[in-house]
Amino acid sequence: MQLTILGSGSAMPTPQRFQTSQLLELRNKQFLIDCGEGTQNRLIQNGIRTTRLNHIFISHLHGDHWFGLMGLISTLGMLGRTADIEIHAQPDLAKLLRPQIDYCCSDFPFSVRFHDFNPHKSAVIYDDRSLTVTTIPLKHRVPATGFLFEEKASERHLIRDMIDAYDIPICQLKEIKAGADFVTPDGQMVPNDRLTTPPTAPRRYAYISDTAYTERIIPYIYGVDCLYHEATFLTADAARAKATLHSTAAQAATIAHKAQVSRLVIGHYSARHRDTAPYADEARAIFPNTIVAADGTKIEI
């Protein structure tokens, strides 16, 4: 599971920071989370090909989280793409984008499909063989949603030498990977843990987009391997954070600490702070294992 921060800024870009966008890659799939203006430029600048990108998740409808969609979709059209694009978002987004898609992309060999979700209620909005995505209602000036990306438990790993030694037929391997013991033709029982090693622990990544400090999210994100939490402001700007329903770096770190996550990533910095060192200091004082994202930061989860 690899996370690439495409844009680490908030609504007002800076020379170094684009608006919010992240790419999550796992098991040969790509998921785009938010799509601020310039997302396609950051993908190109990071040398990322998007052939395995089919699903895009939009957290809320402030423009800095979706104004890059039309440009990205258009470029995918020019790249000869044929697979449909699935956009998961609040219902209003389809209304806002459909006229432009109809106008600009009518001759594309793929469709753009919108999958609406209710931002006020947590729900599983994506489910495939290896992953689910669950929405997490946030607390912002407009309805906003976080996303929990949760791997499904994978199979146990076969110990190839043991499989060969017992000459186990291929047709039984599926059951053994699922945990079954093996009985040899002469009736000897071989326990599963001599044939396999435990599955890789399923990984969980939580994306907490624009939000005021709210402990209501903790049950959803408890113990995740990696938590991204917006940190628009510093504690010195706490009044402004409260007024705009954003979080400070200290608040993001407090949530990470209370939710006992393994790692915290912060971003969405206000343009008034060019230097992110104060964000790092503030967050790490509460939660040491904090990554202070910049545009282009890559994180292995």
Residues 78-137 touching its own copies, rule: CB under 8 A, are 78-79, 92, 95-96, 99-100, 103-104
Residues 15-34 touching its own copies, rule: CB under 8 A, are 15, 18-19
Which pair of structure tokens corresponds to residue 7?
A: 């844009």
Which pair of structure tokens corresponds to residue 112?
A: 């753009």
Q: Which stretch binds its own copies (CB under 8 A): 13-21, 51-59, 180-188, 286-294?
A: 13-21
| 70-105 core/surface letters (b: 16 or more CB in 10 A; e: else) | bbbbbbbbeeebeeebebbbbeebbeebeeebeeeb
Q: Which stretch binds its own copies (CB under 8 A): 67-75, 80-88, 169-177, 207-215?
A: 67-75
Which pair of structure tokens corresponds to residue 194?
A: 């001599």
Rounded distance between C-alpha atoms, residue 117 and residue 123, angstroms: 8
Residues in the chain: 301
Residue of the chain from 1, 38, 227, 230 that contacts its own copies (CB under 8 A): 38
Distance of closest approach, residue 36 Cβ to its own copies, in angstroms: 8
Rounded distance between C-alpha atoms, residue 87 and residue 222, angstroms: 27
Rounded distance between C-alpha atoms, residue 245 and residue 299, angstroms: 27
Distance of closest approach, residue 232 Cβ to its own copies, in angstroms: 13
Q: Is 243 in the site for its own copies (CB under 8 A)?
A: no
- Catalytic residue status for 64: yes
Q: Which stretch binds its own copies (CB under 8 A): 68-76, 113-121, 143-151, 232-240?
A: 68-76
Nearer to its own copies, 15 or 185 (CB): 15
Residue of the chain from 1, 4, 23, 37 that contacts its own copies (CB under 8 A): 37
Partner residues linked to 248 by β-bridges: 233
Provide DSSP, 181-197. Answer: -EE-TTS-EE-HHHHEE
What are the distances in angstroms from CA 286 to CA 167, 224, 249, 280?
A: 54, 17, 9, 10
Q: Is 275 in the site for its own copies (CB under 8 A)?
A: no
Rounded distance between C-alpha atoms, residue 24 and residue 20, angstroms: 13
Q: Is 75 in the site for its own copies (CB under 8 A)?
A: yes
Rounded distance between C-alpha atoms, residue 216 and residue 239, angstroms: 21
Residue of the chain from 68, 119, 146, 267 that contacts its own copies (CB under 8 A): 68
Q: Which residues would be at the binding site for its own copies (CB under 8 A)? A: 11-15, 18-19, 37-38, 40-41, 44-45, 47, 61-64, 67-68, 70-71, 74-75, 78-79, 92, 95-96, 99-100, 103-104
Which residues are marked as active site?
64
